Structure 1
Amino acid sequence: MNSQTLRTAALASTLAAAGLTAQAATIGLMAPLSGPQALVGQDQVDGFMLALEQLGGKLGGQATTVLKEDDQLKPETGQQIVRKFIDKDKVDAIVGLSFSNVLMGSLPRLAGSGTVAIATNAGPSPIAGAQCKPNLFSVAWQNDGAAEAMGKFAQDRGVKRAYLMAPNYQAGKDMLAGFKRFYKGEVIAEVYTQVNQPDYAAELAQLQAAEPDAVFVFYPGGMGINFVKQMSQAGLKGKLPLYSVFTVDGTTLPSLRDAAAGSISGAMWDAALDTPENKTFVAAFEAKYKRTPSEYAATGYDAAKLLDVAMRKAGGDAKKLSAAVKAAGSEFKSVRGPFRFNNNNLPVQNYYAFEAVKEGAKVAMKHVGTPLTEHADAYHAKCALQ
């Protein structure tokens, strides 16, 4: 034995003699860390790691190891990673869980394992309703929520004819359903495009020919950069109001700049939000990473803060962790303002409207409204959980 091994063995012996155990926590963090959506995944990782650093590298007082994996936005890869986290790594909790299609692909394994899983990006409608699980949480949103806020905002602004666009997967369908739930005007088209499609020339020509009063889109990450830039290049900026969710945000503004100016975004958070917790978070994130955080960074940060409270409440008992996470949702201080878990383990929270405005040489987001306050999703009554 070397000296370090001897010291470790001596510590273990002392703890055992005292009837104690040296506790440590392991968290599996899965996100898209390559490809067009890498910026979305990296912000989740960076937000989580910032909070962990502020907590001294511990969650609930336990020294914490974070295992990071890239799901590449592929459901089959996500399934392999989830199996590894549960069966080989024996993690205490899984965080991230990627986009809705990846999360849904791993749902059976997650549900069967009982391992606490906290989504920091996805909130597909099935898990909000009949397929809700006691160990599965979203600290982000139910997919429809921000879109519902934009539907209400467009309705309140008197938009009569709207054109809707999104990528063709579960979240895209949820977003458009959410917008239509609160928008009572005429939907003149509902267009679904390929996931990670780079060129929208044909769709933009169809959009222009339809002559709507406004367009509502959901294009996260690289898709959003391509769409908004091409919309501007097509001469539609300033002529056709753009309402969006997860399209113009902290991940895309540095690339979009002037192309985004004048657009309205719905979100449960933005760096512009004026809460004490948010000011502290944004300042710390910018100091560490030299960029403005996005809502994905905010949810990653909140996930770590939530787990810190929950793991302390559970006292190291894995069987108590799901209940502790549920209770901790009403106790930890979220950067977004009001937050609690509904019966389906998805958030009850505010949804805000932000406008991209020119401030000298840069474009920044400005809070222009709160269309929905302490809003519960449309599916929670279908969930059997209490």
Structure 2
Amino acid sequence: MTGTWNKAKGAIAVAVAAMGCAATAAGAQGAAPAAAAGAAPIRIGFIGELSGSTAGVGQDQLDGFKLLVERNGRKLGGYPIQLIKEDSQMKPEVANQVARRLIEREKVSIITGVSFSNVMMAVHKTITDKEVFLIGSNAGPSQIAGAQCSPYQFITSWQGDQAAEAIGKYAQEKGYKRVVTMAPNYQAGKDTVAGFKRFYTTPVVDEVYTSLSQLDFAAELSQIAAAKPDAVFAFFPGGLGIAFAKQYAQAGLMKTLPLLSVFTVDALSLPAIGDAAVGMVSGSFWAPDFDNAASKNFVQAFEAKYKRIPSNYAAQSYDAAQLLDSAIAKVNGKVDDKKAFAAALKAADFKSVRGNFRFGTNHFPVQSMHVVQVAKDAQGRNSLKTLATPLKDYQDAYQGLCKMKS
């Protein structure tokens, strides 16, 4: 949304008309003083997986965040920022090293990004104990949604169970009696399976866990074919999803055994999987076909800049930038006033691409969760269309374990 700028301190024109995104302009709330032009940049760290088979996840997060920053003339809230990016290499020990470097040497006030739950669990305490604000834009492990929550965390994506919960409810309503679940053997994999089973109340036939670096699923797929379930539920993000879905199709299972997924088919994996993915369903908080102005403007701007359909990773990171844009403006760039800045972040006073957005008591989003399906878009490309909304205005299952008062 456009804010009402403080006339006594001079009007600052916000050049966003060309992008068609006046609703998310810099300085969305409050009044950034004219002195902002000469202010020292607010230093923001970005940690993401930017190399290896999962690099697409971190890159889309980075690109989504930069889309708003660059449109605003490298400013957020009307104040210049310096974005310092770091590759965690999906190694918790490396992530912890770069988090410490960002805090101790680079003196960042804010860290955003963080792609995978094992990395989040490695850096969360390091960052929040130093009272640096962590604006997570992907990983949402159950621990930090619950007992290990922090007043310095604000997650703009989802808690790891939520999309799977939507698919679990969908599978229950479809009447599938025998389901096998598959996921990598790490925190997010365990969370997604737990989420699926929270709403799919029929006992699953089997739970299959694979190595986080595994790209060959031939043995597991043979095991599944022999079990003859009614459907398979799978979570394999980034490059893992591409490998799994292609092998699932090559094994002849795509046409005979419904594949229900979360973060396995998306804008990152669909070009590589091809038409074999058409008809697959997935759980998500957002899809490129969302019929609201903020989403339409985001999709149009992202495709114009990057020449590809944005993924959910880009969308939730764009929302992270929008959140900061609003909050920094509210405190007139004084992010070192931690109490005021936390309150400004908690207000979440921006137009999310997903529609309604607010933070729960654990600083995770309260949001609707949808089922989406792979289908051809108006340009003949494989994309995602919204199929159903099993969970509306939904708060995660762990918020009651978080003892924050606000």
Q: Tell me, yes or no, whether TM beats 0.5.
A: yes
Pick aligned residue for 1:366 from 385, 393, 402: 385
Pick aligned residue for 1:146 from 137, 156, 163: 163
Pick aligned residue for 1:297 from 314, 331, 345: 314
The code of the aligned residue for 2:314 comes to A
The residue number in structure 1 matching 2:44 is 27
Contact kept in structure 2, 1:129 and 1:382, CA below 8 Å: yes
Question: 2:178 aligned with 1:161, yes or no?
Answer: yes
State the Cα distance separating 1:348 from its structure 2 match: 0.4
- Secondary structure in 1 aligned to 2:328? helix
Structure 2 residue ranges without an equivalent (≥5)? 1-34
The code of the aligned residue for 2:341 comes to L
- Cα 1:226–1:21, aligned 2, differ >3 Å: closer, same or farther? closer
- Cα 1:274–1:89, aligned 2, differ >3 Å: closer, same or farther? same
The residue number in structure 1 matching 2:13 is none
> In the aligned structure 2, how far is the partner of 1:311 from the partner of 1:242?
43
- Secondary structure in 2 aligned to 1:354? strand
- Secondary structure in 1 aligned to 2:390? strand
Provide the identity percentage: 52
Question: 2:220 aligned with 1:203, yes or no?
Answer: yes
State the Cα distance separating 1:309 from its structure 2 match: 0.6
- Secondary structure in 2 aligned to 1:136? coil
> In the aligned structure 1, how far is the partner of 2:141 from the partner of 2:399?
12
Contact kept in structure 2, 1:257 and 1:362, CA below 8 Å: no
Contact kept in structure 2, 1:337 and 1:350, CA below 8 Å: no
> In the aligned structure 1, how far is the partner of 2:285 from the partner of 2:245?
21
Structure 1 residue ranges without an equivalent (≥5)? 1-17
Question: 2:346 aligned with 1:322, yes or no?
Answer: no
CA-to-aligned-CA distance 1:78-119 (integer Å, 9 cap, x gap): 001110111111112100022110110112211210000011
The residue number in structure 1 matching 2:375 is 357
Question: 2:117 aligned with 1:106, yes or no?
Answer: no
> In the aligned structure 2, how far is the partner of 1:367 from the partner of 1:324?
32
Question: 2:161 aligned with 1:116, yes or no?
Answer: no
> In the aligned structure 2, how far is the partner of 1:107 from the partner of 1:358?
39
> In the aligned structure 2, how far is the partner of 1:279 from the partner of 1:378?
30
CA-to-aligned-CA distance 1:50-81 (integer Å, 9 cap, x gap): 01122222112111110111110000110011
Structure 1: 4+ residue segments shifted above 6 A? none
Pick aligned residue for 1:274 from 291, 311, 322: 291
Pick aligned residue for 1:225 from 217, 224, 242: 242
> In the aligned structure 2, how far is the partner of 1:196 from the partner of 1:274?
37
Question: 2:359 aligned with 1:375, yes or no?
Answer: no
> In the aligned structure 2, how far is the partner of 1:108 from the partner of 1:127?
10
Contact kept in structure 1, 2:39 and 2:80, CA below 8 Å: no
Contact kept in structure 2, 1:356 and 1:364, CA below 8 Å: yes
Contact kept in structure 1, 2:179 and 2:232, CA below 8 Å: yes
What TM-score, normalized to structure 1?
0.92
State the Cα distance separating 1:21 from its structure 2 match: 7.8
> In the aligned structure 2, how far is the partner of 1:108 from the partner of 1:277?
33
> In the aligned structure 1, how far is the partner of 2:72 from the partner of 2:190?
38
The residue number in structure 2 matching 1:191 is 208
> In the aligned structure 1, how far is the partner of 2:291 from the partner of 2:214?
35
State the Cα distance separating 1:23 from its structure 2 match: 4.1
The residue number in structure 2 matching 1:48 is 65
- Secondary structure in 2 aligned to 1:349? strand
> In the aligned structure 1, how far is the partner of 2:136 from the partner of 2:43?
16
Contact kept in structure 2, 1:258 and 1:358, CA below 8 Å: no
Aligned length: 366
> In the aligned structure 2, how far is the partner of 1:157 from the partner of 1:109?
44
The residue number in structure 1 matching 2:21 is none
The code of the aligned residue for 2:350 comes to F
What TM-score, normalized to structure 2?
0.88
> In the aligned structure 2, how far is the partner of 1:304 from the partner of 1:33?
19
> In the aligned structure 2, how far is the partner of 1:233 from the partner of 1:107?
40
State the Cα distance separating 1:238 from its structure 2 match: 1.3
